[in-house]
Amino acid sequence: MKKIQSYLSLVKFSHTVFALPFAAIGFFIGTRAVGFELLDLKLLGLVLLCMVTARNAAMAFNRWADREIDKRNPRTQSREIPAGIISSEHALIFVILNASLFLLSAFFINPVCFFLSPIALIIVLGYSYTKRFSWLCHVFLGLGLSLAPIGAYLAVTGHFHVLPILYSVAVICWVAGFDIIYALQDIQYDKDQHLLSIPAKFGLTKALIVSSCFHLICALCIITGAWMLHRDFGLGYLTYGSSLCFILLLITQHVLIGKGDLSKINISFFTTNGIASLVLAAGTILDFYI
């Protein structure tokens, strides 16, 4: 049990709450787009398995790729690999196992998902090295998580559509915005280690402005998505209400950080964003049935 907890901690399993609700939105939009009244539970299970295993592979690979960086950073020295709780070899085996399960799950969904699954893996694994050559690493992280609504929609329909793509753009901007806030903790360390990030390149004040701009674009995408759901599927108060709550929680995290008060960064990063994604998904999905 302790070993399982160590691996769950390695991949920050609780942070699955960020992307999984958007995958659920994509899945239910796809379900209604093809006219299904009843849920395909087997397909839903495969989509969830794809989401969890892809994220596990990405997070574990990130920890493996950053093991030497984490060892030198006082804030991250206690992470599982630098602390010796999980060996780098076992972490890499864990990555390979989850990546294999992801590909296998995609195979059983449909040909489109299977053929695109290696590209998805390259994106989510490749993020780990972006901070070494680009201060846009936050956008790459968002790109990885943004595959959730598109992938879930493809699993149901087998084709692309503008609505899940719009939610994917929202995810890119949402994640990039809050990852910039999270990176404020390591400004000096990133500079010392020649690692690239928006806070390290532009400083705290400008980084917060960039984060706000990303979240403004995200808010516009979320509102547009709610309008399209109303237009195409007749969704109403719950969708608009949950979208408004999501946007208010985006604003809340910037209020919490203020002008650089990092003492509340965990509340800003995890609590508000986790609640925001859950509320948005719950309101939107319930609106399909009420």
Count up the domains in the chain and report the number. 1
pTM of the model: 0.95
pLDDT at residue 259, as a whole number? 67
Q: Give yes or no for a contact between 265 and 187, defined as CB atoms under 8 angstroms apart.
A: no
pLDDT at residue 57, as a whole number? 96
What is the phi-psi region of residue 260: left when phi exceeds 0, alpha when psi lies from -120 to 50, beta otherwise?
A: left
At 245, which amino acid appears? C
Least Cα distance to 113 among 50, 192, 169, 198 occurs for 50
Q: Which residues of the chain are modeled with pLDDT < 50?
A: none
Least Cα distance to 102 among 90, 88, 114, 111 occurs for 114
Locus of tokens 């299970």: 45
pLDDT at residue 196, as a whole number? 92
Least Cα distance to 142 among 173, 184, 118 occurs for 173
pLDDT at residue 209, as a whole number? 94
pLDDT at residue 3, as a whole number? 77
- CATH number of the domain where residue 102 is located: 1.10.357.140
Structural domain including 193 reads 2-287
pLDDT at residue 121, as a whole number? 96
At 90, which amino acid appears? H
Least Cα distance to 148 among 51, 280, 284, 276 occurs for 51
pLDDT at residue 4, as a whole number? 83
